[in-house]
C-alpha cells in the first residue's frame, strides 16, 4: 500500500540506501550500470526506479522498477507474498494487465524482483480501471495459478464480520481513544443482509487495486501483485470504491452517483448487485482495517474510519 501521489513519483537521494547485495545481484542479472532512485510513499516494501538514460546499453528499456520485499509486511487484509507475485507476473505475461517481470532475485539478504517501468500513476478515467478489472476477472484462471497456493477470498457475511472483529479485538486490547473507537464501531455493526445472487465462481483477483497500484498512460496497468487471490470479484471492487482506501491514496471519496457509474462501467449487473448487498459489511470490515492501521501510527487511514462508518450506515442507493 502506498500513496498515489508518491508511487512512481518523488525520488530520494537513495543510492546510498540500496543494500550492497541488491545492487550486486541486479548487476549479475544483466541490469548493471543503472542510476537508482528510491520511490517514496511505500507502506510495505522498498521500491526504486532504475534508469540507464537513453544509451543503447540499456538492457530492457530506459528504466525499470526494483522492489525489495520487507519482512513482516503482512496485514490482516493484505499479505506480502513475493512467491505469489512472481507466479502472477509470469502467468499474466503479455496480457497487458501487469508489467513484465524482468528478474526474480533471491539472495541470503532478501528477496527482490525487477519489472518493467509501466509508467506514472494512472490519471485517466476511472471507468477504464473498472473495465480492466472486469477483463482480469473474466479471464480463465491460468493453469499454473489454479494449482498454485494462492489464498482464497470468500465474502460471506460471517467471514466479513469475523475479519472485522478480529481487527477490532486487537485495537481494543490497547488503551485510549483507539480502543474506545473500536468499541463504538463494534456496537454499530450492520446486520447480515440477504445475498440476492449465488456465490460466484472464483476468479483471479489483484487483491489491492487501489489508485497507487494502477499505472500507465494509454491504459491502466496493475502493479504490486504481492497479495493476489482467487475468489469473489466484489473484493477488488470494494477496494476501488472504498472511501478509506481512496483517502489513504489522496483521492476523494466517491459520490453515490459516481459509484453507480463505475459499477455500470464494470459491466456486470450480478456483481454490482452483490457488491451493493454486501456494502454495509464491506464497509464495516474496511472501517475496522482503517482503525487498525491508524492505531499502528498510519495517519493516512485515520479519516477513513469515519468515512467508512458513514457509508456503512447509510448504504449505497441502488435506484
Q: How far apart are CA 285 and CA 207, in angstroms?
A: 15
Residues 280 and 179 grouped into a single domain: yes
Q: How far apart are CA 195 and CA 203, in angstroms?
A: 19
Residue 203 lies in a domain: no
296 and 172 co-located in one domain? yes
Asked whether residue 247 falls in the same domain as residue 227, the answer is no
What are the DSSP calls for the chain, one per residue?
A: -B-TTTTTS-B-S-GGGS-HHHHHHHIIIII-SPEEEEETTBSSSEEEEEE-TTSTT-SSSSEEEEEEPPTT---SS----HHHHHHHHHHTTTSSSSPPEEEEEEETTEEEEEEE---SBP-S-HHHHHHHHHHHHHSPPPHHHHTS--EEE---HHHHHHHHHHHHHHHHTS-SHHHHHHHHHHHTPPP-----SPPPPPEEE-S---GGGEE-SSS-EE---SS-EEE-THHHHHHHH-HHHHHHTT-PPPPHHHHHHHHHHHT-HHHHHHHHHHHHHHHHHHHHHHHHHHHTT-GGGHHHHHHHHHHHHH-----
58 and 190 both lie in a single domain = no
pLDDT of residue 59: 55
Q: Are residues 93 and 47 both part of a single domain?
A: yes
> Is 105 contained in some domain?
yes
**Cα–Cα distance between 192 and 301 in angstroms, integer?**
26
Radius of gyration of the chain (CA): 20
Residue 40: its pLDDT value, please?
A: 73
In a domain, 7, yes or no: yes
Please write the tens of the pLDDT for every residue from 211-258: 999 999 999 999 999 999 999 999 999 999 999 999 999 999 999 999
Q: Are residues 218 and 71 in the same domain?
A: yes
pLDDT given at position 275: 96
Residue 123: what pLDDT?
95
Rounded Cα–Cα distance for residues 28 and 219 (Å): 32
pLDDT of residue 305: 96
Measured between alpha carbons, how far is 97 from 100 in angstroms, rounded to an integer?
10
User: Would 205 be classed as within a structural domain?
Assistant: no
What local confidence, expressed as pLDDT, does residue 315 receive?
61
Burial class (CB within 10 angstroms; exposed 0-12, middle 13-18, buried 19+) of 131: middle
The string of pLDDT tens digits covering residues 273-296 is 999 999 999 999 999 999 999 999
Do residues 223 and 246 share a domain?
Answer: no
Overall number of domains in the chain: 2
CB 8 within 8 A of CB 119: yes
Which CATH number fits the domain that encloses residue 66?
Answer: 3.30.200.20
Are 145 and 182 contained in the same domain? no
Domain contains 255 = yes
Residues 49 and 189 in one domain: no
Q: Find the domain containing 74 and state its range.
A: 1-122+140-150+214-231
Whether residues 164 and 285 share a domain: the answer is yes
Query: Is the same domain home to 4 and 54?
Result: yes
204 domain-assigned: no
**Residue 209 domain flag:** no
Residues of the chain with pLDDT under 50: 2-14, 56-57, 316-319
Full-model pTM: 0.91
- Tell me if 85 is assigned to some domain: yes
Residues 250 and 298 in one domain: yes
Amino acid at each position: 500500500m502506498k500513496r498515489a501521489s508518491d508511487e512512481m513519483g518523488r525520488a530520494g537521494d537513495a543510492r546510498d540506501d540500496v543494500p550492497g547485495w541488491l545492487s550486486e545481484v541486479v548487476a549479475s542479472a544483466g541490469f548493471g550500470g543503472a542510476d537508482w532512485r528510491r520511490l517514496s510513499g511505500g507502506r510495505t516494501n522498498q521500491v526504486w526506479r532504475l534508469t540507464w538514460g537513453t544509451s543503447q546499453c540499456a538492457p530492457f528499456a530506459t528504466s525499470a522498477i526494483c522492489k525489495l520485499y520487507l519482512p513482516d509486511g503482512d496485514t490482516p487484509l493484505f499479505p506480502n507474498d513475493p512467491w505469489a507475485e512472481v507466479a502472477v507476473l509470469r502467468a499474466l505475461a503479455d496480457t497487458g494487465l501487469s508489467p513484465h517481470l524482468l528478474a526474480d532475485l533471491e539472495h541470503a539478504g532478501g528477496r527482490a524482483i525487477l519489472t518493467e517501468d509501466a509508467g506514472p500513476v494512472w490519471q485517466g478515467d476511472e471507468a477504464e480501471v473498472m473495465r480492466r478489472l472486469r477483463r482480469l476477472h473474466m479471464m480463465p484462471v491460468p493453469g499454473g495459478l489454479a494449482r498454485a497456493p494462492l489464498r482464497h477470498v470468500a465474502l460471506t457475511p460471517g467471514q466479513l464480520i469475523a475479519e472485522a472483529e478480529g481487527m477490532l479485538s486487537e485495537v481494543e486490547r490497547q488503551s485510549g481513544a483507539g480502543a474506545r473507537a473500536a468499541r463504538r464501531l463494534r456496537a454499530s455493526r450492520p446486520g447480515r443482509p440477504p445475498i440476492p445472487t449465488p456465490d460466484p465462481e472464483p476468479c483471479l483477483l489483484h487483491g489491492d487495486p487501489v489508485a497507487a497500484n494502477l499505472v500507465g498512460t494509454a491504459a491502466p496497468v496493475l502493479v504490486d501483485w504481492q497479495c493476489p487471490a482467487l475468489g469473489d470479484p466484489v473484493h477488488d471492487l470494494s477496494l476501488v470504491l472504498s472511501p478509506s482506501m481512496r483517502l489513504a491514496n489522496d483521492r476523494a471519496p466517491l459520490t453515490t452517483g459516481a459509484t453507480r457509474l463505475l459499477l455500470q462501467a464494470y459491466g456486470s449487473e450480478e456483481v454490482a448487485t452483490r457488491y451493493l448487498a454486501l456494502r454495509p459489511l464491506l464497509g464495516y470490515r474496511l472501517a475496522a482495517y482503517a482503525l487498525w492501521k491508524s492505531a499502528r501510527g498510519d495517519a493516512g487511514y485515520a479519516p477513513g474510519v469515519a468515512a467508512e462508518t458513514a457509508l456503512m450506515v447509510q448504504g449505497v442507493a441502488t435506484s
